[in-house]
Amino acid sequence: MMRALLLRWITAIMLSAATLAGVASSRAEAQSEFMRGDRMPYDAFDRLRKTDIDVPNGVIHVGFAPGEMALPKDKILDWVKMSSRAISTYYGRFPVDSLRLLLVPVDGPRVRGGTTWGYRGAAIRVTIGRDASEDDLKRDWVMVHEMVHTALPDLDDRYGWLSEGLAVYIEPIARVQAGDLTAREIWHAMARDMPKGLPQAGDRGLDNTDTWGRKYWGGAMFCLLADVEIRKATNNKLGLQDAMRGVIAAGGNHEKDWTIERVLSTADKAVGVDVLTRLHNEMGPKPVTPDLATLWRELGVRMNGESVAFDDSAPLAAIRKAITERR
Ligand SMILES: [Zn+2]
């Protein structure tokens, strides 16, 4: 499923770029201001009429850029609510007090792509196909992915692997915890796609290798390894989820600029071990190739064609279950 997701994501970017060009050249000026440039159009957004959605500890201000949509507004707002529920389930609250969410209709089906900003208050822009169906929205991962970004302080560009890695790793777990996906689907996707994050020839560690595979899947691999190590060190009582909740509890979110050291040590402190800092010291400056086959075997995840079989007698089976357990 994740491969399909990522292909869709790449497609989304390419389609967005194509649409962007189309918008700039032929569409009404009113719409282009919502898509022009690579910044959030805060001023234009603030002029739109908004619908507010209450979330635990916060509010989402939803604005629709001009343009027709096949689905009624209610259905689109339901999708925003469903996505925010997954995020609040994972983090124990919504990561920011106030989020500006701009939805921009573009030609075609499905949800196309998203971007998150923090520098003038947390903001997300998502492009959504005019012909998107209810089913497209139910299966969409883009909204939850972008909302995961709101939970992490803004880091220096070279640590994009941590930001994207957390989003790739947490998005499906949050959706399983909220009841929107099955654990089987996401472990299958992880076992199939995680090897894309392994270092290739010439790799200089996560901090110094700016490739798509290392940024998204290398980052996700870091998160999975950290989750398992935190759980091993705490008798499976705490995990990455508790560590990242600790960042929010300490006032960290995407509206703040933090160093990676501060993010990792704050997260470590919340779970009482130094797993994240230690793992970054190992994997940041040099290529590290973990034995993924052994990890899947120990977690009790066996690839079985288009699905996986779970082995509950495997040594880390309890950790695998705890990762997707709602808490
Ligand atoms: Zn992202």
> Based on the domain organization, do 306 and 165 belong to the same domain?
yes
> CB atoms < 10 A from the CB of 104, how many?
22
Same domain, 119 and 214: no
Please give the distance, rounded to the nearest whole angstrom, from the Cα atom of residue 312 to the centre of ligand 1. Answer: 33
Residue 93 domain boundaries: 2-149
Average pLDDT of 96-111? 96
Which among 114, 133, 149 is the end of a domain? Answer: 149
> What pLDDT does residue 311 have?
98
Residues 268 and 132 in one domain: no
What is the whole-number distance in angstroms between the Cα of residue 251 and the centre of ligand 1?
Answer: 21
Task: Provide DSSP, 160-226.
Answer: HHHHHHHHHHHHHHHHHHTTSS-HHHHHHHHHHHGGGGS--TT---GGG---HHIIIIIHHHHHHHH
- From the CA of 167, how far away is ligand 1's center (Å)? 6
| 145 alpha carbon – ligand 1 mean position (Å) | 6
pLDDT the model gives residue 55: 96
Considering only 32-41, 84-93, 153-162, which range has the smallest mean pLDDT? 32-41
The answer to whether residues 56 and 97 touch, using CB atoms and an 8 Å cutoff, is no
The arithmetic mean of pLDDT across residues 86-94, rounded, is 98
Mean pLDDT, all residues of the chain: 91
Arithmetic mean of pLDDT, 223-233: 98
Same domain for 245 and 126, yes or no, is no
Do 69 and 131 lie in one domain? The reply is yes
pLDDT computed for residue 1 by the predictor: 36
Radius of gyration of the chain (CA): 19
pLDDT at 84: 98
Rounded to the nearest whole angstrom, what is the distance from the C-alpha of residue 109 to the centroid of ligand 1?
21
Determine the pLDDT at residue 305: 84
pLDDT in tens, 40-62: 999 999 999 999 999 999 999 99
**Same domain (yes/no): 167, 286:** yes
Taking the centre of ligand 1 as the mean of its atom positions, its distance from the CA of residue 281, in whole angstroms, is 23
For residue 264, the CA-to-ligand 1 centroid distance in Å is: 19
DSSP 8-state symbol, 13: H
Taking residues 218-238, report their average pLDDT: 98
pLDDT tens digits, one per residue of 108-142: 999 999 999 998 999 999 999 999 999 999 999 99
| In a shared domain, residues 22 and 62 | yes
Ligand 1 centre to CA of 177 (Å) is 20
Question: What letter represents residue 234's amino acid?
Answer: T
For 3, counting Cβ atoms within 10 Å of its Cβ (0-12 exposed, 13-18 middle, 19+ buried), the class is: exposed
Q: Do 182 and 46 lie in a common domain?
A: no
49 CA from centroid of ligand 1 (Å): 27
Rounded to the nearest angstrom, the distance between the alpha carbon of 308 and the centre of ligand 1 is 26
As a whole-number percent, the residues of the chain with pLDDT over 90 amount to 86
Q: Is the Cβ–Cβ distance between 283 and 205 less than 8 Å?
A: yes
CA of 112 to the centre of ligand 1 (A): 13
183 with 243, same domain?
A: yes
- Cα 263 to ligand 1 centre (Å): 18
Give dist(CA 240, CA 281) in Å, integer.
Answer: 17
3-state secondary structure 31-59: HHHHHCCCCCCHHHHHHCCEEEEEECCEE
Place of tokens 């509206």: 255
Q: How far is the CA of 163 from the centre of ligand 1 (A)?
A: 7
Across the range 91-110, mean pLDDT stands at 96
Q: How remote is the CA of residue 144 from the centroid of ligand 1, in Å?
A: 10
Q: Among 89, 123, 149, which residue terminates a domain? A: 149
CB neighbourhood size of 73 (10 A): 12
Total number of domains in the chain: 2
Three state DSSP letters for 120-167: CECEEEEEEECCCCHHHHHHCCHHHHHHHHCCCCECCHHHHHHHHHHH
Q: Distance, CA 219 to ligand 1 centroid (Å)?
A: 11
CA distance linking residue 297 with residue 191, whole number of Å: 10
269-313, pLDDT tens digit by residue? 999 999 999 999 999 999 999 999 999 999 999 998 888 999 999
Instruction: Check residue 23 and give its pLDDT.
Output: 43
Specify whether 306 is located in the same domain as 168.
Answer: yes
Domain boundary (149, 174, 201) is at: 149
- pLDDT at site 32: 66
Q: Which tokens belong to 17?
A: 């770029």
Residues 291 and 247 in one domain: yes
DSSP 96: S
pLDDT digits (tens, 9 = 90+) for 239-262: 999 999 999 999 999 999 999 999
Compute, in angstroms, the gap from residue 313 CA to the centroid of ligand 1.
Answer: 35
pLDDT above 70: percentage of residues in the chain: 90
191 and 251 assigned to the same domain: yes
| Residue 206 CB-half CA count within 13 A | 27
Percent of the chain that is helix, strand, coil (3-state, to 5): 55, 15, 30
